[in-house]
Amino acid sequence: MPNRARDWLRQATRDLKQAEDSQRAELHEWACFASQQAAEKAVKALHMHLAQEAWGHVVAKLITELPASVVAPQGLVEKARVLDNFYIPPRYPNSHPEGAPFEHYGPLQSEEAIRYAREIVEFVRTQMA
């Protein structure tokens, strides 16, 4: 079976672009979700690049499950934990006590999410170079 790591990284890069486009369109909930997706797909790409299987959607866990030879920058796992909070709540109204998801996300959240996702994607790109 061919190694699909590059495909996953390319899609992660495209998801990051979607996050940026969503932020510009003031669709901050989608910017947050797309950022989480970019980070998740990037880290899964690195696992594939290293001939490992990676399952699940928790970016922080995916990073900590990388081999000991891959040293993530300090704070990267904590940034992934922030992104992990954007997997379900930005998409589902029942994830919040009241209100639609778009009412709970704004420029502060989407800016932080994009910044953290960009750091994770760049980390992976460097590791796969």
Average pLDDT, the chain: 97
DSSP 71-127: -PPTTHHHHHHHHHTTSSTTT-GGGSSSS-GGGG--HHHHHHHHHHHHHHHHHHHHH
> Looking at residue 107, which CATH number applies to its domain?
1.20.120.330
pLDDT at 64: 97
Phi, psi dihedral angles at 62 (to 5 degrees): -60, -40
Note the pLDDT tens digit of each residue in 35-49. Answer: 999 999 999 999 999
Number of domains in the chain: 1
For residue 112, pLDDT beyond 80: yes
pLDDT at 18: 98
pLDDT at 2: 77
For residue 122, pLDDT beyond 70: yes
pLDDT at 1: 67
- Answering whether pTM is above 0.85, one says yes
Note the pLDDT tens digit of each residue in 84-101. Answer: 999 999 999 999 999 999
Structural domain that includes position 105? 5-128
Arithmetic mean of pLDDT, 106-127 = 98
For residue 63, pLDDT beyond 90: yes
Q: How far apart are CA 67 and CA 60, in angstroms?
A: 14
Q: How far apart are CA 72 and CA 51, in angstroms?
A: 18
Q: How many CB atoms lie within 10 A of CB 119?
A: 16
Q: Which residues contact 121 (CB under 8 A, 6 or more apart)?
A: 9, 12, 13, 16, 38, 39, 42
